[in-house]
Amino acid sequence: MGKQEDFVLRAIEERDVRFVRLWFTDVLGSLKSVAIAPTELEGAFEEGIGFDGSAIEGFARVHEADMLAKPDPSTFQILPWRGETPATARMFCDIAMPDGSPSYADPRYVLKRALAKAADAGFTFYTHPEIEFFVFKSKPEPGTRPVAVDDSGYFDHTAQGASQDFRREVITMLEAMGISVEFSHHEGGPGQQEIDLRYADALSMADNIMTFRTIVREVALSQGKWASFMPKPFTDHPGSGMHTHVSLFEGDENVFYEAGAEYQLSKTGRAFIAGVLEHTPEITAVTNQWVNSYKRLAWGGEAPNYVCWGHNNRSALVRVPMYKPHKSGSARVELRAPDSACNPYLAYALILAAGLKGIENSYELPPEAEDDVWSLSENERRAMGIAPLPRNLDEAIRTMENSELVAETLGEHVFDFFLRNKRAEWQDYRSQVTQFEIDRLMPVL
Residues 187 and 54 in one domain: no
Residues 79 and 122 in one domain: no
Number of structural domains found in the chain: 2
The rounded distance, in Å, linking the Cα atoms of 171 and 197 is 10
Identify whether 444 is part of a domain.
no
Q: Helix or strand or coil: residue 26?
A: coil
Residues 394 and 338 in one domain: yes
The rounded distance, in Å, linking the Cα atoms of 217 and 413 is 31
CATH number reported for the structural domain that contains residue 77 in this entry: 3.10.20.70
The last residue of one of the domains, among 80, 102, 124, is 102
8 Å CB contact between 108 and 24: yes
Radius of gyration of the chain (CA): 22
Q: What is the pLDDT of residue 409?
A: 98
What is the CA 284 to chain-centroid distance, rounded? 12
Identify whether 328 is part of a domain.
yes
The last residue of one of the domains, among 79, 102, 125, is 102
Contacts for 264 with CB less than 8 Å, ≥ 6 apart: 257, 258, 323, 328, 331
CATH number reported for the structural domain that contains residue 390 in this entry: 3.30.590.10
Contacts for 385 with CB less than 8 Å, ≥ 6 apart: 366, 367
Q: What is the pLDDT of residue 334?
A: 96
Residues 212 and 95 in one domain: no
Q: Helix or strand or coil: residue 291?
A: coil
What is the CA 191 to chain-centroid distance, rounded? 21
Q: Which one-letter amino acid corresponds to residue 172?
A: T
Identify whether 410 is part of a domain.
yes
The single-letter DSSP state of residue 56 is S
Q: What is the pLDDT of residue 76?
A: 97
Identify whether 77 is part of a domain.
yes
Q: Which one-letter amino acid corresponds to residue 309?
A: W
CA angle 250, 252, 258 (to 5 degrees): 70
Please give the model's pTM, rounded to 2 decimal places: 0.95
pLDDT in tens, the chain (445 residues): 789 999 999 999 999 999 999 999 999 999 999 999 999 999 999 999 988 777 677 675 544 567 899 999 999 999 999 877 789 999 999 999 888 899 989 999 999 999 999 999 999 999 999 999 999 999 988 888 899 999 887 767 776 567 788 999 999 999 999 999 999 999 889 999 999 999 999 999 999 999 999 999 999 999 999 999 999 999 999 999 999 999 999 999 999 999 889 999 999 999 999 999 999 999 999 999 999 999 999 987 678 999 999 987 888 999 998 767 667 777 899 999 999 999 999 999 999 999 999 999 999 999 998 778 888 888 888 888 899 999 999 999 999 999 999 999 999 999 999 999 999 999 999 999 998 999 999 999 9
Strands 192-197 vs 181-186: parallel, antiparallel or unpaired:
antiparallel
Q: Helix or strand or coil: residue 243?
A: strand
Residues 145 and 35 in one domain: no
- Residue 323 main-chain phi, psi, to 5 deg: -70, 135
Identify whether 349 is part of a domain.
yes
Range of the domain at 435: 113-439
Q: Would you tell me how many other CB atoms lie within 10 Å of the CB of residue 113?
A: 18
Nearest CA to 336 out of 244, 199, 265, 232 is that of 244
Q: What is the pLDDT of residue 63?
A: 44
8 Å CB contact between 349 and 410: yes
> 3-state SS of the chain: helix, strand, coil percent to 5?
40, 20, 35
The single-letter DSSP state of residue 189 is S
Residues 285 and 377 in one domain: yes
8 Å CB contact between 16 and 87: yes
Strands 242-250 vs 333-335: parallel, antiparallel or unpaired:
antiparallel
Q: What is the pLDDT of residue 54?
A: 72
Residues 254 and 122 in one domain: yes
Contacts for 146 with CB less than 8 Å, ≥ 6 apart: 134, 136, 140, 226, 228, 233, 234
Residues 266 and 392 in one domain: yes
Residues 149 and 26 in one domain: no
Identify whether 185 is part of a domain.
yes
Could you tell me how many helices (H) and strands (E) the chain has, helices first? 13, 18
The last residue of one of the domains, among 76, 102, 128, is 102
8 Å CB contact between 69 and 51: yes
